[in-house]
Structure 1
Amino acid sequence: MKIGKLIFALAFLMLFADASMAAKWKAKHVVLIGLDGWGAYSVNKADMPNVKKLMADGSYTLKKRSVLPSSSAVNWASMYMGAGPELHGYTEWGSQTPELPSRVLDEDGIFPTVFGLLRRSDPKAEIGCICEWAGIRYVCDTLALNYDKHVTEKPQSPATTKYAVEYIKQSRPNLVNIVFDEPDHTGHSAGHDTPEYYAKLKELDGYIGQIVEAVKEAGMLNETIFIVTADHGGIKKGHGGKTMEEMETAFIISGKGIKKGYEFQESMMQFDCASTIAYIFGLKQPQVWIGRPMIQVFK
């Protein structure tokens, strides 16, 4: 009899803990979509109806700044790690390990990421990452993931979308990071701010629409926050420098509890993305993080 009561009490405590955890969350699901090399200068000119619907239904800035250098690994790391390269130590386009010693390491042996924070806060959370560029896997803490997919099929973007749609419908992730390696390649080959670049953005917008539709079909829409952003922009056929075309990227956030049609004016840096996601999930920031949540976008 005592054993039965003990089991009942433990079950009650577990249910209470789950309910308490969920009560801290502003949404049950976050879908983070990254477009590599998507400069904010292009947003108003681009034919991207799905992205612009997210903007109209949510909040956004076209003034989020990259960290220097304005290139990939250092900025994806900052986006996930809530700090700049001076602290996390990833300083170059293709950093796979920190060139500077990370100021602190977490239990997974990496500078604290938002993925690791969520995993330790809720061990049962479903967390996934789907990416086209293998470099993402060096900075997102794969040990914290339930689902880790590096897409190698060609063409990549349709395959990435397929995997994302399947994962969302089957697993209903709490946090999923979906990173396309475009329009960066088009920017390098045809050039930024070219007809080819805008054609690629229109194509990518269609994939984003499919991901939004998958969230609807999974029955998650009312409990989801979408974030669409980028690591850096570009100028001519390159990036990495200090022009605004390279430095400024869009940050679009839309969904449950987000203000509609709100272009916020407060300054935002790359590392504020991690802090904003942490705020959604009620996570306590590590002392070493310097990011700030964009609390002004919440109702």
Structure 2
Amino acid sequence: MKNSRRSFFKQGLAGAVALGTASISRPVAAIPTETNARAAKRIVLISLDGICVEGYLKAKTPNLDKLMAEGSLSLDTRVVMPSVTLPNWTSHLTGSGPEQHGVVDNSWEISKFTLPAIEKDSAGYYPSVFKVLKDAIPQMKTAFYYNWINLFYPYNKQYLDEVSYLEKDAYVPNYEKAFSFLKANRTDP
């Protein structure tokens, strides 16, 4: 299934919260959902950085293929400029570009930036999908697992129930933690 970043958000979050606008300043209730979308009980976003579409299409990925058979995948979403990791992942998790969220390089920190965000929460962070979810459904369970310290800098931890950082590109323990989190919260949104 091919999607733009907007339709990817809409399909991925339909039933829980629909996100997919250029800015998330509109009330969640005002964001339309697709009528034929299945209600999502839970959303698991698996982010793979540095993988090109051509390489992904050529690679043998049976486990990803199984996940994608019932999920949503975009092979034509374009990167934001500058084409570096932190501005792009911030754009993915906010639905906005660097000109709005202010993350323009990989060294961004809450107190160290060159472009101010156009909107900030009470702690100074640009609103992310985690804030939108928690504002719409306060009992919503959210988690963030990562292995590059800078990746988490643009997000306000208050909107996450579990956060786990692993050093030196480690990742297997985070898989186990994520699975345990899903299992422990299987009856919650």
Q: TM-score, normalised by structure 1?
A: 0.47
Query: How far 1:174 sits from its partner (Å)?
Result: 6.3
Give deviations 1:129-155, integer Å, cap 9, x for gaps: 111111121123211111111123x66
Query: How far 1:109 sits from its partner (Å)?
Result: 2.2
Give deviations 1:148-193, integer Å, cap 9, x for gaps: 11123x6612122122222222233868xxxxxxxxxxxxxxxxxx
Q: Which has the higher strand share?
A: 1
Is 1:39 the equivalent of 2:41?
no
Asked whether the equivalents of residues 30 and 174 of structure 1 are also in contact (C-alpha less than 8 Å), the reply is no
Query: How far 1:93 sits from its partner (Å)?
Result: 2.3
Rate the CA distance shift 1:121–1:61 in 2: closer, same or farther, 3 A: closer
Task: Report what 1:179 is aligned to.
Answer: none
* Count of matched residue positions in the alignment of Structure 1 and Structure 2: 152
Asked whether the equivalents of residues 80 and 139 of structure 1 are also in contact (C-alpha less than 8 Å), the reply is no
Q: Distance in 1 between matches of 2:123 and 2:132?
A: 11
Q: TM-score, normalised by structure 2?
A: 0.72
- List gaps (5 residues or longer) in structure 1: 1-22, 176-299
Cα RMSD between the aligned structures?
2.3
Rate the CA distance shift 1:147–1:52 in 2: closer, same or farther, 3 A: same
Q: Distance in 1 between matches of 2:127 and 2:184?
A: 28
Answer 1 or 2: higher relative contact order, Cα 8 Å, separation at least 6.
1
Q: Distance in 2 between matches of 1:100 and 1:123?
A: 31
Task: Report what 2:19 is aligned to.
Answer: none
1:67 to 72, 80, 87: 80
Question: Greater Rg, structure 1 or structure 2?
Answer: 1
Q: Which has the higher helix share?
A: 1
Is 1:143 the equivalent of 2:158?
yes
Is 1:163 the equivalent of 2:164?
no
Percent identity at matched positions? 32
Task: Report what 2:145 is aligned to.
Answer: 130
Rate the CA distance shift 1:92–1:174 in 2: closer, same or farther, 3 A: farther
Q: Distance in 2 between matches of 1:124 and 1:160?
A: 23
Rate the CA distance shift 1:119–1:173 in 2: closer, same or farther, 3 A: farther
Q: Distance in 2 between matches of 1:174 and 1:86?
A: 35
Task: Report what 1:111 is aligned to.
Answer: 126
Query: How far 1:112 sits from its partner (Å)?
Result: 1.1
